[in-house]
Structure formats: C-alpha cells, structure tokens
Amino acid sequence: MATIELNASNFQDTVTAEGITLVDCWAAWCGPCRRFGPIFEEVSEAYDDVTFGKLDTEHNQEIAAALDISSIPTVMIFRDGVMVYRSSGAMDKRNLSHLVDETKKLDMDQVRRDIDRQAEPKKTKRF
C-alpha cells in the first residue's frame, strides 16, 4: 500500500481507525527524513493490510505540537487507536519491517489492561 498524506482533515480518523497505522513525522528540510522517506515507502509496499501515513510537520504544526514532536523523523505506530510505539530517528528497512511484524502480534486486550493499570493511582503505604 502506498503512503497517504496526513493532515488536519484526516489525521485523527486515520490513527484511531481499527488496524495498524504507521506515521512518519518529517519535514522537507530534514536530511535524515529525506533518507528515511524511501525506506518508509518501500516497506509500505510490502504490507497491504497496514496504513502508512506521512505527516509533514512544517505544514501541520498544530498536530506536531499536540504530538510533542521535538525531533524528526519520528515514527509512531497506532493499533486500533492506541499508540503502541514511538521513536525518533531514521531506521533501516529490516528494523521497520520487524516493528510492523511485532505490532501484528500484539495482544491488544493485554495492551489495554497494561495501560489501565498504569493509569491507576499508586497506593501508598501508611506507617
């Protein structure tokens, strides 16, 4: 599947949809982004069942700010509306493909339980 351009009109619906969505946050002036772009595109062609989107941080500064993007490229992976991975810096084809494969294996019920558990207030001991 080819990559899609993400922007204010489709970002929220794309990352909250069922299934897996990879997001490449990039900018045209960024050298590492330009080197990583073809890798992201090539890996997207190998996965018909995964959505690959590119978010130009220069043209979508409000989204980039809301995502707290401080360095690019930043790759985020969402599954069934839950962000399950985020990392800054370019990666090679093998590592990106491995991330997609591992995301497919996730038990999302367990992921949600883990998120809920982390959100619970910590109990303190009384002395």
Residue 55: φ, ψ to 5°: -110, 110
- Cβ atoms within 10 Å, residue 123: 6
Q: For residues 106 and 125, give the distance between their C-alpha atoms in angstroms, rounded to a whole number.
A: 34
Q: For residues 35 and 28, give the distance between their C-alpha atoms in angstroms, rounded to a whole number.
A: 11
Q: Which sequence positions are flagged as catalytic?
A: 30, 33
